[in-house]
Amino acid sequence: MSVAAAVRASDIVSRFAPSAKDAYKQAFQQGDALLAKSGITTPLRLAHFMAQVLHETGGLTILVESGDYSAKNLGDMWDSGNWHKYFTNRAACVEMAEQCKRDHGVALFSLVYGNRMGNGPPASKDGWTYRGRGILQTTGRASYADFGKRCGVDFFGHPDLVASGDHALKPALAEWDDKHCNAAADHNDIELVTRLVNGGLVGLAGRRKWFAKIWPFVIGAPPVEHSTEFRVQAALDAAGFDSGDPDGVIGATTRAAILGYRAKMKLPLTPAISNDLLLSLGIG
């Protein structure tokens, strides 16, 4: 089945990104030909592409990467291991929050993005100039220059064009094509798609949630909120067993909640969603 038989990307934007920036709305409203050129012509490819896009942009509300890091944000980045090579210790990383209040992240991005991705040293401020922008958060001087040449747009000289209505889809689709993301999407492998787009698995849970919402919509199935999995998660939460925000995707947190509930109710200890569990939770 082709995407045309289901929904357009702009339909997904309208349904799931009500606060989308105008530039992004424009990009998707006029982007069908670009999506088709990149082979995003099946429901599965479209759902995976849009799940990544909506996660990377906070539901299409983020045009450019924010440098307004708080002390807590910076502490979290240190604790996750992302920025150990740029600061001598956790305290030095957290102290950068005061600088972020003054310059909105110029010094921070110049430092952590300096001397990589084609950027010059921190003094060049390339890390700030070529920070993340657009639909897949294009980052780094080399990417801006390369995608600019390939797309015929001066992203290098005018970085904000990466997030403009006329051009936002172009660098994102070039990256999608370069990394052969369609092949991963065809296997319905969201972990591999995420690694290709992100370079790791940062935000995987959020990307799964977006996909769980988008996929039923694309294929014309009932909304995820109607699924047994979603209703089980909601019922577990109501019973005091945290399964995370209900999303219809059964992961480690939901399985732990099921086991906890089963233990309390003296049901067989299995993470399976079977009739005994549904009956106990009052799910018909």
Q: CA 19 to CA 14: how far, in whole Å?
A: 9
Beta strands in the chain, from DSSP E residues, in sequence order: none
pLDDT exceeds 60 at position 171: yes
Of 138, 57, 127, the closest CA to residue 86 belongs to: 127
Q: CA 207 to CA 210: how far, in whole Å?
A: 5
Q: Which domains does the chain have, with CATH numbers?
A: 3-61+161-219 (1.10.530), 71-129 (no CATH), 225-281 (no CATH)
Backbone angles phi, psi at 258, to 5 degrees: -60, -45
Instruction: Give the pLDDT band (50/70/90) at residue 1.
Output: very low
pLDDT exceeds 50 at position 4: no
Q: What is the DSSP letter of 73?
A: H
pLDDT single digits (tens) 93-136: 999 999 999 999 999 999 999 999 999 999 999 999 999 999 99
Burial 1-19 (b: 16+ CB within 10 A, else e): eebeebbbbbebbeebbee
Whole-number average pLDDT of the chain: 94
Report, as an integer, the average pLDDT of 172-199. 95
pLDDT exceeds 60 at position 187: yes
pLDDT score for 6: 63
pLDDT score for 5: 47
And the tokens for 275? 């009739």
pTM: 0.80
pLDDT single digits (tens) 226-248: 889 999 999 999 999 999 888 88
Q: By the 8 A CB rule, do 67 and 97 touch? A: no
Q: CA 83 to CA 227: how far, in whole Å?
A: 40
